[in-house]
Structure 1
């Protein structure tokens, strides 16, 4: 008689954090031009003298940027983007399952919807405070243009960290924390909870197996939901982070200025690149995350069995 297969081991917290960080970095590298297009569309209309270029649509923005400022501009701020994923995605995604199990520990039942939401709130909040400086630098690098004689504010990622900290203040590296906290909490809860619920629905009702097609479809649905819910906070965050000192007195004044000068639709500027970016980012990240943590757990299980 063949020996019974060993039960699949639950991924450790370390495996989940490592898998989340690696998968998020890969997703960022592939989808970064969409993120740059989103930022340019979001700040359009903020300053009439910004560059004189009008961006139209996702493809139009990417094409215009590549033609006027060079293809490399689409990846301006990528080092800060990678730093952001290492410092924040590994926490908000890698710790999510551990956090929901912690909240459900006293019930001796599977994590409830409330446990999942609390876990998303907690890990999303922690990730923002840790990763906010990388977000500030990423947005500033993506937003700056050298057209029409405009001198770039920063020559590179590390130059941006230094100039922001010395010429503005160290606290400026945490500028926009409140709108980014709101955005991140909304995205984290909507994205992770929706992904969990949709995947559980497909698997539980035997519509799809717990494999790549299920992960892909769940990630797409989660990406759309997260984009729709987070767009207003995302646009305000981008505007406030990119603004020079004194342009906006506070986050609410930034939001009010957008509303009065540009109307309610301003809060959904860049929605399509936001969705395309977040949906494609989710697909790449979740599919890689699920496969990587599964393979790492199997490898660990094999090593344990042989020893």
Structure 2
């Protein structure tokens, strides 16, 4: 008797709006995967963006930072704070991708043949960012406080408790407006470039992991490079409580951060950490989109 294999579900044949629960679960798994893999490079980026008072904390490049941190503090220092990211990234990405797919469907972005689909995609990306950043911002503050040179914190819970006791709840959200100013255009650019490249590289909609990786990587690189100046300002705001510089400690918002950057480092100051930021976003975005598309199909098929 010949057994007939069950019919396989085409990967790209799934409904673009596969269901809120599926999209959120896939987003959570993709987010944790993305952040965990590229975390050491993100740590280097944070250190390069901080205006350090000690020469030991000034780095000339990614290679220089990696070598010196590894030699003086050990490899474990590059992973300090990763627990905060893991705790926050899953739920935040679940909210992110769930909101993205829901708004995209509502705005008509999944309807074939409709003109200006990029508008629906950009709107969905921006909406997803507002929702997920509201959840993720405190975890990001904790992460960066633990990443800086000679951080006193070894536990995310200890860091959160100390920051709250010394600076209050506002410390976790002082960078939120700046974060939105940065991530809304980043996400809009990222999702738009990703969707356009995915369609261009794979017009037939066939299963193509390489398409998701290439489109996701390029989309992340473009978005990351464009928004680097805002990321520098965000880092100053999120790490101000660890600074011994009175001006930085009293930095109140984006305008203050931009003024400090301009006065101390000129135009080049706005590109601090550009190389590790792009280096982080290219592979992490490629991995994130590959994971998201895979998990979405796998969960739906299970």
Please report the TM-score for the alignment, with normalisation by the length of structure 2.
0.88
After superposition, what is the alpha-carbon deviation per residue over 1:90-121, rounded to whole angstroms, capped at 9, x for unaligned? 22233312211112289896571111111111
Conserved? CA contact 1:136–1:175, under 8 Å: no
Aligned partner of 1:171 in structure 2 is 170
Shift of 1:247: 3.1
Aligned-partner SS, 1:47: coil
Aligned to 2:244: none
Query: In structure 2, do the counterparts of structure 1 residues 175 and 15 end up closer, same or farther at CA, with 3 Å as the change threshold?
Result: same
2:89 counterpart of 1:93 = no
Aligned to 2:227, the other structure's residue is in SS state helix
Residue 142 (1) aligns with residue 147 (2): yes
> Is 1:154 the counterpart of 2:161 in the alignment?
no
Q: 1:232 aligns with which of 229, 236, 239?
A: 229
Within 5 Å, which residues of 2 pair with 1:194-213? 194-204=193-203, 209-213=206-210
Q: Aligned residue for 1:223?
A: 220
Q: CA deviation at 1:18?
A: 0.7
Gaps of 5+ in 1: 147-151, 300-307
**Pair 1:187 & 2:186 matched:** yes
Asked if the contact 1:92/1:188 (under 8 Å) is kept, the reply is no
**Count of matched residue positions in the alignment of Structure 1 and Structure 2:** 287
Normalised to the residue count of structure 1, the TM-score between the two structures is: 0.86
- Given that 1:202 and 1:209 are in contact with CA atoms closer than 8 Å, whether structure 2 keeps it comes out as no
Q: Deviations over 1:121-158 (max 9, x none)?
A: 11101111111110110111111x33xxxxx4424110
8 Å contact from structure 1 (residues 78, 138) kept in 2: yes
CA change 1:109–1:178 in 2 (3 A) is same
Q: CA deviation at 1:226?
A: 0.7
Tell me how far 1:75 sits from its aligned partner.
0.5
Q: How does 1:256-275 map onto structure 2 within 5 Å? A: 256-275=259-278
* Equivalent of residue 25 in structure 2, options 18, 24, 27: 18
